[in-house]
Chain A
Amino acid sequence: MSEEKAKITRRSYMKYVGGVVAVAVVAAAGYGIYEATKPTPTPMYTVNICTWFGAGLFTALIKEGVKQPLLLEFEKDKNVTVALADFTEDVVREKSLLDATSHTGTYDLWQSGGEVVAQYAVPKYLYPIDDYMKNYTDPKYLDLSDVYPKALEGLKYDGVSYGLPIYYTGPGITYRKDLFEEAGWDRPPNTMEELEEIAKALTKPPNQYGLTTRCKAGEEPGIDVGGFAWAYGGTWFEGGAKTATEIKANKAKPAFNTSEFLEGFKMFCDLSRKYGPPDTPNYTWYEQAEAYKSGLAAMVLPGNWCYWYLVQSATDETIKKNTRFAVPPPGPVRETQNFWSASLFMNADSKDKRAAWEVQQLCAGKKMQETMAASGNTAVTIRSLHRSGPLTELYPKEDLANIEKAMDIADWAYRPYFPEFPEVEILLGNATSAVVAGRDAKTALDEVQDKAYSLMKAHGYYD
């Protein structure tokens, strides 16, 4: 009797296992069919770009999944295929990090903000491109003398180039000419005092505010507030040390709580708090832009990335027609800074670096930049495009001249390059957000100073 039962048990267990196996086989077969019917990969090497600018920048190459003529021409010319992997910024950061530390070489080119060069170059995750820049630049695509030198400078680390800029912005004020004239101002402000005056005159809550800044906790405010601190003579580190090498060599301690830095910091925060919309401590670039476009704010500062974006995307005709651009007023010590470039960096584990370089120069070169300009983008990296070409038909000559001026003023040094940079910037950004929301500036900066110092010390800079 138990014999029978045992047999039954074994049989039914086999049935169960068999069932599972059958399902697995069917699944595998289905998967196999799927694989077989996938379009065959081209024999050419595919350069993979990891980006968060897909819908913004790379539409010149791939628009909504369809490859554009410029790209098709390039692919035929250089015998490579280009694939775009498009995500949000945080995801790109995560993926680039994972890719780099695990050396999988999944992506050949990473697109990110230029300042990230310090983070990736030090552990040797990036491939230096000086050699390519000198010997393999194809004039059909890239003319290095036409690229803003400051943009190229900002992608070097310790004198070695690692990336090419594909999008470049500097300082600037975007303002409503009509509102200015209404308040009796026929020109943009030339000093910080004038800036405050205009902002005050134009602040009529709850429907109008003088200016708008981005103060959401995180790193964004850090980009902007630093430029103001710079204008008042402040720097992140003692003596203005701006790279990890310099910091280490001079044992330069953080300088966030110097009186100069504090003054510039306070100026930015006061302006934001007094003359910005009440939700400012939660504003990112997006809310900032929306505030301006809805007529809530009369000025956007302090970067020039927003000028073309606001003109192009504003739906209100009055706002569209009356938006102008000016270089921001300098502080008592030097010019007000802002610097940001989106660039392509080459993965040191890329399996075909030459191919990756070709794509890099395509994106930084005039052909692609011109396509960007044609859709109204003024943050192009090519100087000649600000003097002639599609941009001159879309914007007043004066504004373009100001943009060119701003591009030459921009200097990356106000935001030092060292691997711990994002963490420190977040400290600064969080402090800015808190101060704009009401916290005391001095206490906030003291805290930033302490935390930054312990961070730098823990990473061995002062041994």
Chain B
Amino acid sequence: MSLKLKSLITNALQYGCLMLVSFVALLPIVWVVMTSFKSDAVANTYPPMFIFEPTISTYSDALTGGLLRFFLNSLIVAAASVTASFAIGLPAAYALARISFRGNQSISFWIISTRMGPPFGFIIPFYLIMSNIHLLDTWTALIVMYLIFNLPFMVWMLKGFIQESPKEIEESAMIDGCSTLGALGRVVLPTIKPGIAATIILSFVAAWNEFMYAVALTSTQAKTLPVATSDFSGSFVTGLRWNLMSVYATASMLPVLVMSIFVQRYLVRGLTLGALKG
């Protein structure tokens, strides 16, 4: 087989596979977004319609029904918990990465293991704590909860990034009179910026999508998007309002989607920075 033919076939296969995967990846999403623009009558037909007259009436229904508040709740809780875990976790990541001390490995492992607890087992104690300090149905409660699984992740990823960045720059900065923290801030951080971006995005997504604890700890004031979206699983009279649910689903996907399109490059470059050395 001539080289040209071979590379043609390989290319065709490459693009073919990618198109197939993209199709599978995008189909449900496009479907959901499409459904959000359907009117009630059209949304529940069999077989499902692809061509229809779009309407934004469902969106206005959702907005009067409180969509904005749920959106805001999710946004605030996710942003706050990610910021907090970054601020708290950064020094720890640095210490674990650069300073060799006894117990470094075990503390690392312990930090990661705090993320391993299945929610159902710990909802009750957390509910009791929160209700005793009157924090039920507040942002604070969820922010604290999400710290629990964002902090370990943040520490772990940042530790890896820091380990990868060359020590020499830091050392020379410190010789020049910089304190450790100063070096951390002025030298290390800029180097691992893509890595930070990647970690922040993934943590944000995790907090944004979290379901179990949000359900248990919020009621009406601090209800987040995933909880609100799941409320549509069986409204009796209206049946499953797929279009309304799709509006909520689209709203859930939107910020993260937009964020990801902008920082896409960082994601790969960031992870490349070898957070992946553990």
Residues of A within 8 A of B (CB): 5, 8-9, 11-13, 15-16, 19-20, 23, 27, 31, 52-57, 59, 64-65, 83, 85-89, 91, 94-95, 98, 101-102, 104, 106, 284, 286, 289-290, 294, 309, 312-313, 315, 375, 377
**Alpha-carbon distance between A106 and B220 when the two chains are bound, in angstroms:** 12
A20 partner residues in chain B, CB cutoff 8 A: 87-88
B240 partner residues in chain A, CB cutoff 8 A: 286
Residues of B within 8 A of A (CB): 41, 44, 46, 61, 64-66, 80, 83, 87-88, 91, 123-124, 127-128, 131, 136, 139-140, 177-182, 215-216, 219-220, 227, 230-231, 233-240
Considering only CB atoms, which chain B residue lies closest to A10 in the complex?
B179
17 residue pairs A–B, Cβ–Cβ below 8 Å: A9-B179, A12-B181, A15-B181, A16-B181, A19-B87, A52-B234, A55-B237, A56-B235, A56-B237, A59-B237, A85-B219, A85-B220, A87-B231, A88-B231, A94-B216, A106-B131, A290-B239
Q: Are A313 and B181 in contact (CB under 8 A)?
A: no
A313 partner residues in chain B, CB cutoff 8 A: 237, 239
Interface of B is mostly: helix
Given the known interface contacts A8-B179, A106-B219, the answer about A16 and B237 at a Cβ–Cβ threshold of 8 Å is no
A290 partner residues in chain B, CB cutoff 8 A: 239
The 3 closest A-B pairs by CB, nearest first: A56-B236, A55-B235, A12-B181
Q: Are B231 and A86 in contact (CB under 8 A)?
A: yes
Contact of A9 among B64, B124, B181, B236 (CB under 8 A): B181
**Alpha-carbon distance between A283 and B177 when the two chains are bound, in angstroms:** 71
Q: Are B215 and A94 in contact (CB under 8 A)?
A: yes
A309 to chain B, nearest CB (A): 7
Q: Are A104 and B131 in contact (CB under 8 A)?
A: yes
Given the known interface contacts A12-B180, A15-B181, A104-B136, the answer about A88 and B216 at a Cβ–Cβ threshold of 8 Å is no
Considering only CB atoms, which chain B residue lies closest to A14 in the complex?
B181
Given the known interface contacts A55-B237, A88-B230, A309-B237, the answer about A98 and B127 at a Cβ–Cβ threshold of 8 Å is yes
Q: Are A286 and B131 in contact (CB under 8 A)?
A: no
**Alpha-carbon distance between A224 and B233 when the two chains are bound, in angstroms:** 21
B177 partner residues in chain A, CB cutoff 8 A: 8
Given the known interface contacts A8-B182, A64-B64, A104-B136, the answer about A375 and B237 at a Cβ–Cβ threshold of 8 Å is yes
A54 partner residues in chain B, CB cutoff 8 A: 235
**Alpha-carbon distance between A86 and B237 when the two chains are bound, in angstroms:** 14
Q: Are B131 and A289 in contact (CB under 8 A)?
A: no
A19 partner residues in chain B, CB cutoff 8 A: 87
**Alpha-carbon distance between A53 and B65 when the two chains are bound, in angstroms:** 16
Q: Are B238 and A56 in contact (CB under 8 A)?
A: yes
Considering only CB atoms, which chain B residue lies closest to A27 in the complex?
B80
A102 partner residues in chain B, CB cutoff 8 A: 127-128, 131
B65 partner residues in chain A, CB cutoff 8 A: 64-65
A50 to chain B, nearest CB (A): 8
**Alpha-carbon distance between A95 and B231 when the two chains are bound, in angstroms:** 14
B237 partner residues in chain A, CB cutoff 8 A: 55-57, 59, 309, 312-313, 375, 377
B83 partner residues in chain A, CB cutoff 8 A: 23
Q: Are A9 and B46 in contact (CB under 8 A)?
A: no
B140 partner residues in chain A, CB cutoff 8 A: 31
**Alpha-carbon distance between A358 and B102 when the two chains are bound, in angstroms:** 65
A55 partner residues in chain B, CB cutoff 8 A: 235-238
B162 to chain A, nearest CB (A): 16
Q: Are B131 and A309 in contact (CB under 8 A)?
A: no
A5 partner residues in chain B, CB cutoff 8 A: 179
**Alpha-carbon distance between A313 and B235 when the two chains are bound, in angstroms:** 13
**Alpha-carbon distance between A289 and B234 when the two chains are bound, in angstroms:** 12
Contact of A23 among B87, B91, B178, B234 (CB under 8 A): B87
Contacts A9-B181, A12-B182, A55-B237 aside, 18 further interface pairs with beta carbons under 8 A come to A5-B179, A8-B178, A16-B181, A20-B88, A27-B80, A31-B140, A53-B236, A56-B237, A56-B238, A64-B61, A88-B231, A91-B215, A91-B227, A106-B136, A284-B234, A309-B236, A313-B237, A313-B239
Given the known interface contacts A23-B87, A65-B64, A95-B216, the answer about A88 and B181 at a Cβ–Cβ threshold of 8 Å is no
**Alpha-carbon distance between A377 and B128 when the two chains are bound, in angstroms:** 39
**Alpha-carbon distance between A284 and B234 when the two chains are bound, in angstroms:** 10
B180 partner residues in chain A, CB cutoff 8 A: 9, 12
**Alpha-carbon distance between A167 and B143 when the two chains are bound, in angstroms:** 39
**Alpha-carbon distance between A86 and B227 when the two chains are bound, in angstroms:** 11
A104 partner residues in chain B, CB cutoff 8 A: 131, 136
B44 partner residues in chain A, CB cutoff 8 A: 315
**Alpha-carbon distance between A88 and B177 when the two chains are bound, in angstroms:** 60
**Alpha-carbon distance between A55 and B232 when the two chains are bound, in angstroms:** 9
Q: Are A286 and B216 in contact (CB under 8 A)?
A: no
B41 partner residues in chain A, CB cutoff 8 A: 315
A31 partner residues in chain B, CB cutoff 8 A: 139-140
Considering only CB atoms, which chain B residue lies closest to A308 in the complex?
B237
A336 to chain B, nearest CB (A): 23
**Alpha-carbon distance between A377 and B87 when the two chains are bound, in angstroms:** 55
Considering only CB atoms, which chain A residue lies closest to B220 in the complex?
A85
Q: Kindly name the residue among A53, A64, A83, A87 whose own CB sees the greatest number of chain B CB atoms within 10 A.
A: A87
B182 partner residues in chain A, CB cutoff 8 A: 8, 12
**Alpha-carbon distance between A12 and B178 when the two chains are bound, in angstroms:** 9
Q: Are A16 and B91 in contact (CB under 8 A)?
A: yes
**Alpha-carbon distance between A87 and B231 when the two chains are bound, in angstroms:** 5
**Alpha-carbon distance between A31 and B141 when the two chains are bound, in angstroms:** 13
B128 partner residues in chain A, CB cutoff 8 A: 102
